[in-house]
A = this chain, B = another copy of it.
Amino acid sequence: MTASAAATPRNTVLDLSRLLDPAAIAVIGASTNPKSISGQPLMHMLACRYEGKLYPVNPNRAEVQGVKAYADVREVPRPVDAAVVAVSAAHVPKALEQCGEAGIPFAVVLTAGFQETGDAAGADMQRELDAAIARSGVRVVGPNCVGLMNVRTRAYMAFGGALGDKTLRPGPLAIVSQSGGFGLSIMALANAHGVGSNYVVSCGNESDLTFFDFAHDLLERDEVKMIAAYMEASTEGVRLRELGRHALEVGKPILMLKVGNGGAGRRAANSHTGRLTADYTLFRTAFREGGFIEVEDLDELADVARLVIGGKYPKGRNVGVLTGSGGWGVIMAEQCERNGLQLPPPSAESQAKLRALNSTFASLNNPIDQMANYAEQNKTLECVLDDPAFDQFIVRSGSGPDVDVWASRMIEIAEKTDKPIAVNWASVPGRDADVMQKLEQAGFLCAIYARRAARAVGIFTEFALKRLKFAQAGAASPARPLPRRPLDIGSSKRALSEHTSKQCLSQYGIPSTKEVLLSLADIMALKACPVSFPVAVKLASPDIPHKTEADAVRLGVNTLEELKRAAQSVQQSGRRHIPDARIDGISIQQMASGIEVILGAVNDKNFGPYVMVGLGGVMTEVLRDVTHRFAPVTMDDARDMLGELKGTKILEGYRGAPPADADALAQAIVSLSWLISDHRDRIDEIDVNPLFVRARGQGVVAADALVVTRGTDK
């Protein structure tokens, strides 16, 4: 077993309850030095009054830090739920085996010195550790981690300065981190923002239990309302997608801080599609698809956590903004728009109610500007609370001596609605802290800066809408729009010819340019062209997948004479390029026109099958304006993809051109997604490049295609 290899499938019963909420803990290698790594777990649990039983194990001491010690973990009174292992690397395997003999189901191995060293000694140690884990039957956290904490019971099977923080309060956040120290930073900062954690897990080398094991288990716990995840590089794309789906099923967000996104470069790939897909692209695709909220830093994480705690999920992007400061209103409106929110005007009915208030407004539009009259602002809020124009509200807080009265009243009003209300705090940090705390305890986000408030509300809204859509659609997979079709593509790893590639597309309803495949001799004997001019002439050879490179393509051929010359010429070029290339014939194709699109699909080794679409030429080659979804996709997904393209207006009819057949393009994306999905065991990559999109109602047509098969015959 190496890292991650032991990852437990989600459908396996894996109950981490005794690990996450242990009633008795053995500390193997407990040190008398409370500052040392091996002394800290005991020290912190004693200092914070861990609720359960503690058994230090130390062969040289009768007691450690004032607690009776045992020479051997097998001597410790049973039952023990979890052991902290803090002996040197060489002694860890034996300690795990003894845990197994002692009937201890879980061990948290803090010790470093395994595969993470990157040297031979570390690799040897890792092998011994993996063997010991397998033999012992003990489920292991780490090694090389800062441990695992239950904040409610103070089961701090961990080390680090943050554990000494006496202000730590338990709360609805669970933290799973692939960086030990950073997990504790998340806990400390969230706590400082009033967001308590219940569980904190540092994954370490993941030699047995992995990031995904913890995250799946935590999602199922009632006391966990959300997970904060710090994730480094990972090859576990499929498991990430499963986790995202699980989060949507239980309606709890995973606040994802993903690092290691730069510099990784493009993937090696045969297809253009593969080369246009950076590693990080697929992570983001998984985040968008599943119950994740990607956050950039810990301030954002804390703000979103407060919205989750508030427990109200907006049903749309329309925000009513209430302000007493015109300047602030302008800033907030701009920040809302930058974060995908919309500010519609209040309904006529609401405006009438507002006019009847006998208050003075600088604006009855949105933001509703009540000119520093915070005493009256709650009345305004009541007027618009049920206005269907608004899915949620952002309110500029009152300030001054009556701020407490204002806040109390607003809390009462908020109880009448299931629309979330976020507060942008008008005061300076620290001022009226008691009122802010009262609002936070009542479930409000109180953000001092407009930008922070708008950003948090914006990304939380995206999650809320995804959650809503998932709940409405149910757990059903997308309906299959066409039957699974067989493909005649053999079983060896290779690039199929254009002709065969287009046949694959055809099986899934994606039309190609009209084409006739003839031998050179047949062409030379033609009396009339079997395809109407102008035509393209291409050499068809299984050994020459990249025909342009071989100079084996002629476009815009207009006469029979030209056709014959072109046919001779492409065959000669092919022979020059690869003298013994097998030649299937020469393909005569109708020239297509329309808007040029690149459509692709790849069966990614980490994430599974996905589709990609981009507009051709400069848009793809220079601007990399492409977008991705995992396959299969629905028509809605496909239309969303087209809407995400920066150049999407090109499809609407640019410079007076008629609108393109975007529906047919979306349909082609759906079909391609089923093609790669149905045949994921046999196909690696598909390029449809270019696909021409004709005017509305006239469909699409593939002018070239390349299918690279996976090869299953070895």
Instruction: Tell me the A residues contacting B by CB distance below 8 Å.
Output: 161, 177, 179, 181-182, 185, 188-189, 191-193, 230, 232, 257, 259-262, 296-300, 325-328, 330-331, 333-335, 337, 372, 399-400, 426-431, 448-452, 618-619, 621-623, 646-647, 649-650, 654-655
Contacts and interface: CB of A to CB of B under 8 A. Distances in A.
16 contacts: A179-B325, A179-B327, A181-B327, A185-B325, A189-B429, A191-B428, A259-B330, A259-B331, A259-B334, A260-B330, A296-B451, A299-B452, A300-B451, A621-B654, A621-B655, A622-B654
A570 B298 CA distance: 66
List the 9 closest A-B pairs by CB distance, nearest first: A179-B327, A182-B327, A192-B428, A297-B451, A259-B330, A181-B325, A297-B449, A622-B649, A299-B449
Contact of A181 (B182, B296, B372, B452): B372
Nearest to A164: B400
Contacts of A299: 448-449, 451-452
B182 A325 contact: yes
Contacts of A333: 262
Per assembly, the copies of the chain total: 2
Contacts of A428: 188-189, 191-192
Contact of A334 (B230, B261, B327, B426): B261
A400 B191 contact: no
Nearest to A330: B259
Nearest to A431: B192
A125 to B, nearest CB: 18
A397 to B, nearest CB: 12
A299 B300 CA distance: 14
A300 B179 CA distance: 28
A18 to B, nearest CB: 29
Contacts of A646: 622-623
Contacts of A654: 618, 621-622
Contacts of A179: 325-327
Contacts of A192: 428-431
B298 A449 contact: yes
A621 B451 CA distance: 31
Nearest to A453: B297
A262 B337 contact: yes
A335 B257 CA distance: 13
Kindly name the residue among A179, A191, A300, A426 whose own CB sees the greatest number of chain B CB atoms within 10 A.
Answer: A179
A300 to B, nearest CB: 8
Contact of A185 (B189, B328, B618): B328
A643 to B, nearest CB: 14
Contacts of A326: 179, 181
Nearest to A187: B428
A605 to B, nearest CB: 24
Nearest to A297: B451
Nearest to A646: B623
A567 B163 CA distance: 87
Contacts of A429: 189, 192-193, 429
A621 B334 CA distance: 25
A139 to B, nearest CB: 25
